[in-house]
Amino acid sequence: MSEYRGYEGDSLEFLKTNQVSVGDSVKILADITYSGIIMPRYEHSDDKHIVLKLRSGYNIGLEIEKIEKIEKIEKIKSAEIIVQQDEKLEKVAGLPKILLLSTGGTIASKINYRTGAVTPVLTAEELNSSVPELAKIANIDAEALLLEYSENIMPEHWLQIAEKINEYSKSDYSGIIIAQGTDTMHYTSSFLSFALAGFPIPIVLVGSQRSSDRASSDAALNLIGATKFITKSNTKGVYIVMHQDENDDTLACHVGTRVRKNHTSKRGAFQTIGDNPAFIIAENQIQKNISENFFKINEFQPRIKLDTRVALVKYYPGYNPKLLDQIIEMGYKGIIFEGTGLGHIGNTMYESVKKANEKGIFLGMTSQCIDGRIRMTVYESGRDLLDLGIIPLENMIPEVALVKAMWTMGNVQNGEEMKKIMLENIASELSS
């Protein structure tokens, strides 16, 4: 029975006795008075509590024995929040044009009040119309390209996004915003940075850590910040725009190949590695932290190809080299090592590394350390690995190195050319 989903035993009897069910708006008198919506319980929950979603957007559990009175206010008419479709916003003459592409994720999500889950249900047009401030900054054209959580965004989706963006390389848009889930956003930004290097207008990825129906949501502010950045920065490249910290006053704009998500839930989860964010967005001011020569002046020649036969191997004490042998036997053409310190892996791996090198597999070394540069000539073990064919990748972030290797492998003809491009600074993936 979905109207009592997750409830059993005493809590189920409590709901039935009081003639309320999941989705009902109620007022509850306990230690204090609570108002909210009855939420479903998760599997294996106890039968002594009910779950209430407060108007603030947060869930609380209430012990049924301490509830003095429960009063039904109204019954939710639909299984989900009803998203009100606003009319399309009228275009304002003289404002710049921006394309908003939605791929799903928390920024395009609402709470499903029957399942209790955050689900991607907003379209790009709804994202646009739900933030009316955007219409005062730019004329936004919106399109829903995908509807996926970020963990479901795969390399084939990167290709799809890049191909769509490439269609607008000669358009009159001032920039393109991509709304995506945050967990794999820096993988997407890395691929777009390589595949669309030199793109004539800025490409900005934006997401949120909290869904747009929560009082603490950062979705609107991040979208507004990304729009302001495009209209005021007079730059190009691929960026990620998110909160700088928990404060709503400033947003950070990170170069797409120098950024990681470093916190699971904080608004300021994204950080530029090894430097300050490229730009800080505060009110209507854009503070620039990079030099005019930061980006190479590339002639735009899209190279939207990749080969996913690249593995990212995180070395740890006790790593079984047979795992590396399996990667080799599976036909992988590239291996990115996330090694210790200055770029090391244990000598138990050497024989497998030698085998991989003899098969012509590209071998690149990055570091598990958050910051710093690979230096494989300092210690004997590093020099041994150089002799075995491992290429040090300077201060490239491991995930970025993985994506670059996939991209490079899809666009080159031989191993020597791959080594050359992997060491070439294509999209600021290597910093000084």
What are the catalytic residues?
106, 182-183, 261
Separation CA 240–CA 182 (nearest Å): 10
Residue among 191, 251, 200 nearest 225 (CA) = 251
Task: Indicate the helix (H) or strand (E) that contains 110.
Answer: strand 109-111
Q: Which residues sit opposite 176 in a β-bridge?
A: 99, 203
Give residue 278's region: left, alpha or beta (phi > 0; psi -120 to 50). Answer: alpha
Burial class (CB in 10 A: 0-12, 13-18, 19+), 236: middle
Contact between 366 and 397 under an 8 Å Cβ cutoff? The reply is: yes
The amino acid occupying position 112 is: N
Separation CA 411–CA 220 (nearest Å): 38
For the beta carbon of residue 264, count every other beta carbon within 10 angstroms. Answer: 9
Q: How far is CA 400 from CA 4, 152, 362, in A?
A: 46, 18, 15
Separation CA 24–CA 349 (nearest Å): 59
Token pair 């079984």 is found at 320
Residue among 24, 58, 177 nearest 108 (CA) = 177
Name residues whose C-beta falls within 8 Å of residue 429's C-beta, 6 or more positions apart in sequence: 190, 193, 257, 258, 396, 397, 400, 401, 404
Token pair 């990115």 is found at 336
Residues counted in the chain: 432
Name residues whose C-beta falls within 8 Å of residue 170's C-beta, 6 or more positions apart in sequence: none
Beta-strand (E) ranges in 118-195?
Answer: 118-120, 139-144, 175-179
